[in-house]
């Protein structure tokens, strides 16, 4: 199959999704044009899937578990919608399913697997850089306005601080694995790029993001923490907490806004395990509201996309509320199975895969859009192939290192 056709049918929609270009067009140009882009993306994916069918290789047994999940979700969800009378746009909910299906078959081809790895890495890095630019020019994607005042938190291409945070973390993980220089100049370049990505994360003032990044940083630098270095690291922990308390005490003198100071205090509470004082930004109240419907229909659920309508801001609870406990339990099984399978990989790929899963799993606690965003759900297809094919892992290692 012609490489240009593959690029147009699969990677153009992926770039549009990852950079949230459709929403930008809707907010800054015309909603009608954005709707055309949405239909165009789906048409391209379906067309690409039809044209690529003869190039499909051995499929991933791990990734195909998601098709069982989708069957359960829509079976129980549609039945629940019929019983409860809840109505939603089913076609809109199928967008991530179509994306996942397309890339599930595309990534079975090893060359396309590696091409996807390059494309998604570049997209994440560009998105993190846009996050910095939007803050510097006070552009708020949520309101589609350019403000005359400094933004409290960076929202990136989506206008949501937590979404911008996980995008920056993914950019850090993927670029760190993708670019493995040997020359000093290139090593300096890598350090600069990773520093800018980390800066974009800091600008989000995301408690979840900074906490997750701390864990991810240790995972992807697992080689460093061995032997005498572990002892040195243990000795540095008291200095780390001294630094935290110093930043907290000096927050008032750093020209931070009240919202930013509250986020600094929130991060300190998380890192010092003072969870009673952690501000969940109102998500606790939203979770309490949705819990009523969970108890009301725990077996069957309340209908497809019901949790999005109720703004649950929690993927785990959302799936249970939408499609019942059996779908929820199978969803947990998939997540556990993925994590378990990463132990079959060599150390470098193992911690690379674990880092991606960790970001997805943690942000599912505070976001309901993780498996609803096309470019994010495709990551599970990518990880499925990374896990299942040993020869593919070797080829990926040669490219990633």
| DSSP letter for each residue of 10-69 | IIHHHHHHHTTHHHHHHHHT-HHHHHHHHHHHHHHHHHHHHHTGGG--SPPTTTTHHHHH
Q: Which of 246, 168, 251, 152 is nearest to 210 (CA)?
A: 168
Q: In whole angstroms, give the CA distance from residue 387 to residue 334.
A: 13
* Among 34-48, 82-96, 272-286, the least confident range: 272-286
Query: Nearest 5 degrees, angle CA 216-CA 97-CA 3?
Result: 85
Overall domain count for the chain: 1
Spatial neighbors of 102 by CB under 8 A, at least 6 apart, are 10, 45, 46, 48, 49
Contact call for residues 304 and 92 (beta carbons, < 8 A): no
Print burial letters for 15-37: b (CB count within 10 Å at least 16), e (below 16).
bbbbbbbbbbbbbeeeeeebeee
Residue 154's domain comprises: 3-400
Question: Averaging pLDDT over each range in 195-204, 277-286, 361-370, which range is the top one?
Answer: 195-204
In Å, what is the CA distance from 283 to each residue of 279, 310, 311, 364, 365?
9, 12, 9, 13, 10
pLDDT in tens, 79-136: 998 888 888 888 889 999 999 999 999 999 999 999 999 999 999 999 999 999 998 8
145-146 and 139-140 as β-strands: parallel, antiparallel, unpaired? antiparallel
Print burial letters for 339-352: b (CB count within 10 Å at least 16), e (below 16).
eebbeebeebbbbb
Supply the pLDDT for residue 397: 47
Supply the pLDDT for residue 309: 85
């Amino acid at each position: 199959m012609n490489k240009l056709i593959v690029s147009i049918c699969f990677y153009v929609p992926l770039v549009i999704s990852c950079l949230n270009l459709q929403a930008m067009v809707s907010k800054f140009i015309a909603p009608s044009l954005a709707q055309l882009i949405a239909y165009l993306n789906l048409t391209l994916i379906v067309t690409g899937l039809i044209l690529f069918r003869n190039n499909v290789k051995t499929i991933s047994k791990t990734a195909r578990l998601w098709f069982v999940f989708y069957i359960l979700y829509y079976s129980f969800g549609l039945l629940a919608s019929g019983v409860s009378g809840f109505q939603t746009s089913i076609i809109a909910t199928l967008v991530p399913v179509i994306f996942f299906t397309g890339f599930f078959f595309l990534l079975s081809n090893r060359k396309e697997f590696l091409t996807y790895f390059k494309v998604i890495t570049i997209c994440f890095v560009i998105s993190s850089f846009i996050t910095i630019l939007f803050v510097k020019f006070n552009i708020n994607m949520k309101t589609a306005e350019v403000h005359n005042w400094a933004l409290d938190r960076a929202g990136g291409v989506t206008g949501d601080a937590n979404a911008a945070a996980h995008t920056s973390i993914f950019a850090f993980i993927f670029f760190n694995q993708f670019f493995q220089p040997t020359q000093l100049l290139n090593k300096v370049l890598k350090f600069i790029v990773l520093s800018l990505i980390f800066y974009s994360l800091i600008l989000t003032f995301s408690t979840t993001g900074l906490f997750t990044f701390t864990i991810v940083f240790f995972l992807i630098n697992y080689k460093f923490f061995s032997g005498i270095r572990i002892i040195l690291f243990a000795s540095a922990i008291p200095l780390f907490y001294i630094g935290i308390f110093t930043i907290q005490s000096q927050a008032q003198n750093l020209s931070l806004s009240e919202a930013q100071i509250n986020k600094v205090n929130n991060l300190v509470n998380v890192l010092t395990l003072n969870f009673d004082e952690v501000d969940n930004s109102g998500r606790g109240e939203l979770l309490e509201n949705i819990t009523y419907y969970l108890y009301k229909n725990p077996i069957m659920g309340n209908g497809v996309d019901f949790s999005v309508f109720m703004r649950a801001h929690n993927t785990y609870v959302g799936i249970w509320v939408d499609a019942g406990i059996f779908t929820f339990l199978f969803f947990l099984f998939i997540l556990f199975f993925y994590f378990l399978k990463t132990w079959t990989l060599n150390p470098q790929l193992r911690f690379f895969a674990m880092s991606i899963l960790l970001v997805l799993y943690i942000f599912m606690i505070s976001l309901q859009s993780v498996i609803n965003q096309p470019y994010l759900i495709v990551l599970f297809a990518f990880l499925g192939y990374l896990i299942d094919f040993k020869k593919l892992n070797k080829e990926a290692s040669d490219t990633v290192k």
